[in-house]
């Protein structure tokens, strides 16, 4: 292959471009019809009562934590294997993240380890659907009900995933999706919060607009809020992408099936598994390679102009989190081992069968 193969690339077609142009030519560039239609369509897709469009998945997570009215010293149980935003949204509110090690197969929080980490300070569980694999909602909700805890779903990587026939995003008190360019659909930046609670819906809509009541007069603000609004251009792009979502998922699944065909024949490669009665909609294609082999694979991918990413650096070992809470290496061994083994391969609509075959050949020769 002569050309560089990137690790990710967004998919934009003429309909997407036209949708954004129409939004630009409209009479409203914020909180207009495009945002409303995107929210309505998204809620319908998930089968929830409400969705609230925001400026990013991180903003959505922050607001989801904010509505819990937590204070400094309160604790939220979550996974140490995630993108940094899931920890940062807690730290914004001076809440302590209580990490629980992950399940070796799903790479999500291990529900069997949650109860032993619950204290009088525990207020909620932040469940993360890593790489699109649904977290064990039944077990998480059972524990939450037992201890009177709220559950927030970080579904930013899992749009289109299902858990026992139910849409991911409809399973917890509030769930958040993100639309960064490498996700299943993109709005450039942007995110959305899903909930079945009328009360939470009202608060989310207030928080994203500087704390102004939904039906309040201009200039009156009933609570501390933020400028977390999604623009009309972003909403128009998101809506256009959502309108062809089934096609986007099928295209991505074809790429996954092609990778599986070639990688399953290579010794030393472990592919991600999907739990029974679940469907994992992937935003990236992850494989596991033992650390000593993975390092050489990365060298060879670089030599052959093939993009990749290492996902994820353990949250408890991020320098500022270690310093603040005293977490140390070895505290969550499965997370740390998985972090040393995971590798994201090129994954985007337009990636050809020949390119996938070439990528797999480089990996096989490297291992």
Q: What is the pLDDT of residues 219-239, one digit of tens each?
A: 999 999 999 999 999 999 999
Whether the per-residue pLDDT at 9 is higher than 80: the answer is yes
| Parallel, antiparallel or unpaired: strands 174-178 and 191-195 | antiparallel
Nearest to 233 by CA among 189, 277, 269, 286: 189
Q: What pLDDT shows up at residue 218?
A: 86
Domain 245-366, CATH: 3.90.1150.10
Distance (Å, whole) CA 277 – CA 148: 27
Q: Contact at 8 Å (CB) between 44 and 91?
A: no
Q: Which whole number is the average pLDDT over 199-211?
A: 97
Domain extents in the chain: 14-243, 245-366
Whether the per-residue pLDDT at 1 is higher than 80: the answer is no
pTM of full prediction above 0.75:
yes
Start-end of H helices in 48-160: 57-66, 85-91, 137-147
Q: Which whole number is the average pLDDT over 162-175?
A: 98
Q: Which whole number is the average pLDDT over 157-166?
A: 98
For residue 246, count CB atoms less than 10 angstroms from its CB and return exposed for 0-12, middle for 13-18, buried for 19 or more: exposed
Distance (Å, whole) CA 89 – CA 85: 6
Between 100 and 218, the higher pLDDT residue? 100
Distance (Å, whole) CA 356 – CA 185: 22
**Residue 128 gets which letter from DSSP?**
E
Q: What pLDDT shows up at residue 291?
A: 82
Whether the per-residue pLDDT at 148 is higher than 90: the answer is yes
Report whether the peptide linkage leading into residue 312 is cis, meaning its omega lies within 30 degrees of zero.
yes
Whether the per-residue pLDDT at 20 is higher than 80: the answer is yes
Burial state string for 160-176 with b = 16 or more CB within 10 A and e = fewer than 16: bbbbeeebbbbbbbbbb
Q: What pLDDT shows up at residue 217?
A: 85
Whether the per-residue pLDDT at 289 is higher than 80: the answer is yes
Instruction: Render 21-56 in DSSP notation, one character per residue.
Output: HHHHTSS-SBSSHHHHHHHHHHHHHHT-SEEEEESB
The 278-279 sheet, strands edge to edge: 166-167, 162-163, 278-279
Q: At 350, is the secondary structure helix, strand, or coil?
A: coil
Cα-trace Rg, the chain = 21
The CATH number of 14-243 is which of 3.40.190.10, 3.40.50.1820, 2.40.160.20, 3.40.640.10? 3.40.640.10
Distance (Å, whole) CA 69 – CA 3: 51
Nearest to 187 by CA among 208, 166, 159, 168: 159
Q: What pLDDT shows up at residue 356?
A: 98
Q: Contact at 8 Å (CB) between 114 and 122?
A: no
Whether the per-residue pLDDT at 333 is higher than 80: the answer is yes
Question: What is the token pair recorded at 175?
Answer: 């769930």
Q: Which whole number is the average pLDDT over 19-37?
A: 97
Report the mean per-residue pLDDT for the chain.
97
Q: Which whole number is the average pLDDT over 163-182?
A: 98
Nearest to 60 by CA among 163, 175, 143: 175
């Amino acid at each position: 292959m002569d050309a560089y193969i990137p690790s990710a690339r967004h998919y934009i077609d003429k309909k997407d471009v036209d949708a954004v142009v129409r939004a630009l030519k409209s009479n409203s560039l914020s909180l207009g019809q495009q945002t409303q239609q995107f929210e309505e369509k998204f809620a319908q897709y998930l089968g929830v009562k409400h969705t609230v469009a925001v400026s990013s998945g991180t903003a959505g997570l922050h607001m989801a934590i904010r509505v819990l009215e937590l204070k400094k010293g309160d604790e939220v149980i979550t996974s140490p294997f995630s993108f940094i935003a899931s920890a940062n949204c807690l730290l914004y509110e001076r809440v302590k993240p209580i990490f629980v090690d992950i399940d070796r197969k799903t790479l999500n929080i291990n529900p069997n380890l949650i109860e032993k980490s619950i204290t009088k300070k525990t207020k909620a569980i932040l469940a993360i659907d890593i790489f699109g694999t649904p977290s064990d909602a039944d077990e998480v909700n059972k524990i939450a009900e037992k201890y009177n805890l709220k559950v927030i779903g970080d579904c930013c990587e899992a749009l289109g995933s299902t858990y026992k026939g139910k849409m991911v995003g409809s399973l917890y008190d509030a769930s958040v999706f993100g639309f960064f360019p490498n996700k299943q659909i993109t709005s450039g930046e942007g995110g959305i919060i899903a909930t079945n609670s009328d009360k939470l819906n009202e608060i989310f809509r207030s928080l994203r607009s500087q704390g102004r009541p939904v039906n309040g007069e201009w200039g009156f603000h009933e609570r501390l809020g933020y400028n977390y609004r999604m623009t009309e251009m972003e909403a128009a792009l998101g809506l256009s992408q959502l309108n062809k979502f089934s096609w986007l998922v099928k295209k991505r699944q074809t790429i996954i099936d092609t990778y599986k065909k070639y990688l399953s024949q290579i010794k030393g490669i472990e592919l991600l598994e999907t739990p029974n009665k679940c469907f994992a909609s992937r935003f990236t294609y992850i494989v596991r390679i033992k650390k000593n082999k993975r390092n050489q694979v990365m060298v060879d991918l670089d030599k052959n102009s093939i993009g990749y990413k290492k996902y994820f650096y353990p949250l408890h070992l991020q320098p500022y989190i270690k310093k603040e809470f005293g977490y140390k290496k070895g505290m969550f061994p499965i997370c740390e081992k998985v972090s040393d083994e995971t590798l994201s391969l090129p994954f985007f609509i337009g990636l050809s069968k020949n390119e996938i075959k070439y990528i797999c050949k480089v990996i096989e020769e490297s291992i």
